[in-house]
Structure 1
């Protein structure tokens, strides 16, 4: 039996003189015997990945510890028949895919898990035989993995996540549509073998160079807006490309389009262009968006006989004679935008009338649409829109 003295905790604690010196409060509390309840062991800390200190984009995906899996409070798929072909769970606060118990479903071809809190791609192998479309738009995914068995995928959407590197998808050779909009990608990579890909969206990332697209010979649409690209290049092996979107980058001249004879739509607004040279071989262009640049002359587009829409707002175009000379004979041209140009700013009251006189074939000027008869217009338009009254 312990004595009463042993049962009773000490009524006070003593402070070592070295600890108390120069301090208002003690650094550590000790009992009268000097024991402070902690084992004093010298520790030396070592970083497993010191490169992370110098590389802010470093991603050590091989050493990521698995997080805690919390079972769902309810069965979100309780109302879905087991033979459902589509499952849509948008904004359903899902954090764990395995908790959905997807192996119950035998015919799912499209799975949409948009706007959830998913961090890991897992629990999808049971759908491999039938799944063709996987939508993980707006989640918290940082690393691509868990797609090894999904060989029938034709559409994969990783937009609005936290992905830094394109990896582990080159085996998905049936992909036709691939989306990586608004991530943290710095390099176009990991796409080898995707010969059936038709649409690739990489807008709103941190890409500085167009590269590694050689194997995507079937690509028809490439979306690269809002990146940090300074030069158009690396497209020579894409003879089927029809749409190129490269707006909001750092491009100073139009280059690299010589071997794109099928190009129909070019979106290159919000850059630093000063001329329209470089479009000589783009004879199939139907839509050209050059808004918000520093271009002062329309020279360089007079040969575009297929042009239907020209978006040229907020540039330096000032000569109506040049507008008529370069665009007047374009019978398919129906839409022009010159808002914010000297053409419009110098005489806004006369601007639209002058454009109509120069381009009588046009039915839409900026945001306004007009109806015209087949004969040359000579009257005054009263009102706006498709139901405008023509007074002659």
Structure 2
């Protein structure tokens, strides 16, 4: 019998939850369950791949609520080259050894992976995407010496490590992590693209060995100056928006720059750009620039310059009605001012 409030007359004993690992609350970022027993994985109710032929070379299972890789019975696919398992619930990488001879592209973007394990045998991988997971440490990938593209966007990584031996790596994505220092990249001499946006980096350093680098991306960090890139003579694109940079400098040895993004910094003078004769795009919105004479002096002779962004500077806010015409007069070669294309009369 229960009354109108649901009380059934039985004794209520006050219970308190007890944490088995209270240290996790004290320092949740450092606490790791790496040595804990594996989480039980429930077998799939149906074979998601029952309609696939054994000789298929590309499998794409996006957002299928997959948690158990063994349940997919991937061992029967003897010619599989590309496996995409984005947006699932995978916590452990358990792939059969039979995939090793053919698998070159593995995409595990947006899952629940905390530790990199189970990849050692996949030595023919050229592309590995572990973005949007819960990874804290880069490890156990040193056998993947054929990797050309490696993605770790939006994880919990604090240190660049574990990349030794990846001598043909071309593209490394480490954006949106917790990295404070650029380090341990000496082996990556073939690297052409390094993406480190949205971290906690205060200084550009330890990139001297990366002489083949064409793209360096460091927006939304804690940089106060442009430095440390004199060895990057092949650099073509440099992204430094949303930092605390006060001066344009340090670009004397980068004559091949085509794209320079300095938006949302604290720059008050347009300077030290005259030698960048290959410049095609200059993004300098939301700074403190106010001199059209500097625009004329630094950019007029840039024949390849097609795009400039100056909105949010005093150049634009002091006289918004005249701003575009002034830029056009100073830079007649430009085809786009901010987000708007220039009309050809």
TM-score grouping bracket, smaller chain normalisation: over 0.9
CA distance in 2, matches of 1:176, 1:207: 22
Contact 2:257–2:276, Cα closer than 8 Å, also in 1? yes
Verify the 8 A CA contact 1:103 1:126 in the aligned structure 2.
Answer: yes
- Looking at structure 1, the residues matched to 49 and 69 of structure 2 have their Cα atoms a distance apart, in angstroms, of 12
Aligned residue number for residue 300 of structure 1: 272
Once the two structures are TM-superposed, the CA of residue 243 in structure 1 deviates from its matched residue by 0.1
The CA distance in 1 between the partners of 2:120 and 2:335, in whole Å, is 52
Among 285, 302, 309, the alignment partner of 2:281 is 309
**For each residue in 1:207-241, what CA deviation from the matched residue of structure 2 results, as whole angstroms up to 9, or x when unmatched?**
00000001101100000000000001010010000
Q: Does 1:100 align with 2:69?
A: no
1:39-69 CA distance string (max 9 Å, x none): xxxxxx998x897576432244542211222
Corresponding residue for 1:279? 251
Output aligned runs, 1:126-205, within 5 Å.
Answer: 126-205=98-177
Whole-angstrom distance in 1 between the partners of 2:147 and 2:303: 38
Q: 1:99 to 1:321 in 2, by over 3 A?
A: same
CA contact (8 A) 2:133 2:155 kept: yes
The 3-state SS of whatever aligns with 2:59 is strand
Give the one of 269, 276, 290 matched to 2:262: 290
Structure 1 contact 61–143 (Cα < 8 Å) conserved:
no
Report deviation, 1:370.
2.3
Structure 2 vs 1, CA of residues 46 and 291 (structure 1 numbering), >3 Å: closer, same or farther? closer
TM-score, scaled to structure 2: 0.92
Query: What number of residue pairs does the alignment pair up?
Result: 332
SS at match of 1:266: strand
CA distance in 1, matches of 2:105, 2:29: 30
Show the counterpart of 1:223: 195
Q: Looking at both structures, which has the greater relative contact order when contacts are Cα pairs under 8 Å and sequence separation is at least 6? A: 2
Structure 1 segments (4+ residues) deviating >6 Å: 25-28
Question: Distance between the aligned counterparts of 2:31 and 2:88, measured in 1?
Answer: 23
Aligned to 1:75: 47
> Which residue, out of 264, 272, 275, partners 2:236?
264
What is residue 353 of structure 1 aligned with on the other side? 325
Q: Deviations over 1:307-350 (max 9, x none)?
A: 00000000111111110110000000000000111111111111
Larger radius of gyration: 1
Matched residue of 1:336: which SS?
strand
Q: Say which is worse superposed, 54-63 or 76-85, in terms of deviation.
A: 54-63
Corresponding residue number in structure 2 for 1:381: none
| Distance in 2 of aligned mates of 1:26 and 1:205 | 47
Please state how far the C-alpha of 1:353 moved relative to its aligned partner: 0.6
Q: Note if 1:118 corresponds to 2:90.
A: yes
Per the alignment, do residues 50 and 363 of structure 1 end up closer, same or farther by CA in structure 2, a change over 3 Å counting?
same
Residue aligning to 2:290: 318
Report deviation, 1:26: 10
Cα RMSD over matched residues? Answer: 1.9
CA distance in structure 2 between the aligned counterparts of 1:365 and 1:258, rounded to whole angstroms: 30
SS at match of 1:63: coil
TM-score, length basis structure 1: 0.82
Q: Which ranges in structure 2 are unaligned for 5 or more consecutive residues?
A: 1-10
Answer yes or no: is the 8 Å Cα contact 2:131–2:152 preserved in 1.
yes
Separation of aligned partners in 1, 2:212 and 2:13: 72
Q: In the alignment, which residue of structure 2 is the partner of 1:387?
A: none
Q: Which residue of 1 aligns with 2:216?
A: 244
Contact 1:124–1:146, Cα closer than 8 Å, also in 2: no
Partner Cα distance (1:223, 1:26) in 2: 57
